[in-house]
Structures are given as structure tokens and as C-alpha cells.
Amino acid sequence: MLVASSLLLAACGGGDEEEPSAPSSSEPTTAATSEPPEPTYWPLTGLERTGKAPNHPVIVTKVDNTSSSAPQIGLGQADLVVEELVEGGYTRLAAFYYQKVPKNIGPVRSMRASDIGIVPEGATVVTSGAAQVTINRINAAGIPWITEGDPGVYRETSRSAPYNLFARLSEIAKGLKAPQDDPPPYLPWGTEEDLPRGGMASTLTADFGAHSTTWQYEGGGYVNTNSYAAEGDRFPADSVLVMRVEVGDAGYRDPAGYPVPETKFEGKGAALLFHGGRVIRGTWTKDGHTGAIQLSNKDGELTVPAGHVWVELVPAVDGDVTFAK
């Protein structure tokens, strides 16, 4: 900031001081100017943020996604949701919270090794635990987690185990330390105007084997037509991002004897971005477990319109994605 000062002129004779000369209209004035602050954005939605960041890290909660979970509680306030394969061809949800934290969330279920690539750096996971081999790998990856026995995690007496573990997320958030820096963006965010035209697609189905998730475009967003969420508590998806992923063997079996799969959320694969009743084909890349997710199509970089996104990590083999006008 430049400050212009008028000069004091001393008289040459008579010993009297002259009054300071008035600035001419062409001289700079002492006006203070300031640049507007750079806008900040929510890392999990890409929407512009006003005010300070929350005083807690990103919280990822593992949520059951079978009919036994109905009704799921707390998905309606999630910033972003990732659906991942678990054993038997069923799925589990990783619900991300930062901008808003619900009072309660659940049913809370266990982690998988797949979560090492899904959970963003610096986030804390709320979980019912995991097999010891998975816990060892989660700990080695430096991912903090909270489970039964920790403050805020409780059993809901009106439900049957193992679908009765819930978490008071607002209480848990108060006990977590805020990160020193803002979390990085989870997806490459942009605007609707940035998108290529794409093709028409008002319905889509992500098939994981034993479970399929169906979506209908209506009212400017996507409705999960076979959701287990409580009425009025469904995730408000502005976009659905499908990424085809390789799936390996986690190296152990669940109590029912099914081999536990491990989603390899690194490398590259095909992508389908559904937004505004249209679909854009592209490719995703991710450098290792902690690398940033990048999207591209034949014209170059592809961004996701800022808003609430449901991510489907559909197996490249034994999974399928269908859509229609």
C-alpha cells in the first residue's frame, strides 16, 4: 500500500513558517486500498466456503449397506459418499463429513483394506473395528480410527447386533484436533459450464454382484431409488461418479467363509460422470494410495461440478454399469 505525504515547505526568510501547501488535484491522496480475500472452498464438495473451517478433521464413517441396516441414519448430511465392494458381492459405504456433522450416524460397520486408498490423508475413521490383518495395515498407513468403547460410539437397544452400533458424530468431532492446514480437495472440482455435452442418461445402475445401486435423475439431482436411508435422510446427490477399479484378494475370509475383496483404488481406470441427466465418459488416475484423483476425457482434463457427489467404485471385472435415456 502506497502512502503519499505532502511536503512541508520552509520559508526562506522572515523566520515565519508557511502553511503546508494543499495537494493539487493531480497529486495522489492518502486513500487506503485492500484486495478482496481469496475465496476458499469446501474440500469434499468444491462449494465456496464462508467463515472459518471446522475445528475438526474430515470424519469418514463406515456404514452398513444391506437391508438389515434400514433405516440408515445420517447420510442426508454427508458431504460425499463412496460405495465400495465387500465380501459376497455386497457393498459398504464410506460417508464423509466435514462441512456438516450429524448428531447420529449408523449403523456403523467395520473397515476394509480398501479404505486405505479411499480415506483422505488427515481424516479420522469411525468404525466397528476390523480383522486384525486389516487393523495392522490401517495402522501402518497412519489412519486414526475410533470404535466401540471410545466416547460417542454406542449400541442402539432397539436394533439387533451387529446392526445396532451407532456414533454421536457431533460429540466425536468435539474431541478431535483440527488439522493445521485445510484438507485438500477430494475430487477435481469445477463448474457445470466446464463439462462437455455428453450423452443423455436419466437412469443408471451400478452392479457389484449381489447388490446393485440404482439412480434416477429428477428435480435437478439424483435419487437413489433403492436406498436404505431413513425417509428424508437420503444423500442429496448432485452428481454420481462411477470409477471402474481392479479388485484383489485381501488375504483372509469373513466369518461366513467368503473371501474378503480389496479394491485397488490406485492406478487408472474407466470413469463415467453423471450430471444434469447426462453422462460423460472419461478416465481416472490416482498415484498410489494417497495420490490425488484426476479425471480426463478425450479433450483433456475433466472436472466435477461443485456439489454433493456419490462415488461408485465398481469392479472392472464382475461388476457392471448400465444407463438409459
Q: Which three cell numbers stand for residue 139?
A: 495402522
Which pLDDT value is given to residue 4? 37
Closest to 293 in 3D by CA, of 241, 250, 240:
241
Cite the beta strand spans of 65-104 per DSSP E: 80-85, 91-97
Q: Does any domain span residue 103?
A: yes
Q: Does any domain span residue 2?
A: no
Q: Does any domain span residue 16?
A: no
Residue 82 and residue 91: Cα distance in Å, rounded? 10
Q: Does any domain span residue 100?
A: yes
Residue 280, H or E segment: strand 278-286
Chain-centroid distance of CA 302 in Å reads: 17
Q: Does any domain span residue 293?
A: yes
Closest to 41 in 3D by CA, of 236, 195, 188:
188
CA–CA distances in Å: residue 273 to residues 197, 205, 219? 11, 13, 18
Q: Does any domain span residue 3?
A: no
Residue 287, domain CATH: 3.50.90.10
Q: Does any domain span residue 43?
A: no
Residue 218 and residue 192: Cα distance in Å, rounded? 17
Residue 131 and residue 89: Cα distance in Å, rounded? 18
Number of alpha carbons in the 13 Å side-chain half-sphere of residue 257: 0
Q: Does any domain span residue 20?
A: no
Q: Which domain covers residue 263, as residue numbers?
A: 48-252+259-324
Residue type, 193: E
107: cis peptide before it, omega within 30°?
Answer: yes
For the CA atoms of 46, 48, 52, 55, the dihedral, rounded to the nearest 10 degrees, stands at -20
pLDDT tens per residue, the chain (325 residues)? 333 333 333 333 444 444 444 444 444 444 456 777 789 999 999 999 998 999 999 999 999 999 999 999 999 999 999 999 999 999 999 999 999 999 999 999 999 999 999 999 999 999 999 999 999 999 999 999 999 999 999 999 999 999 999 999 999 999 999 988 899 999 999 999 999 999 999 999 999 999 999 999 999 999 999 999 999 999 999 999 999 999 999 999 988 888 999 999 999 999 999 999 999 999 999 999 999 999 999 999 999 999 999 999 999 999 999 999 9
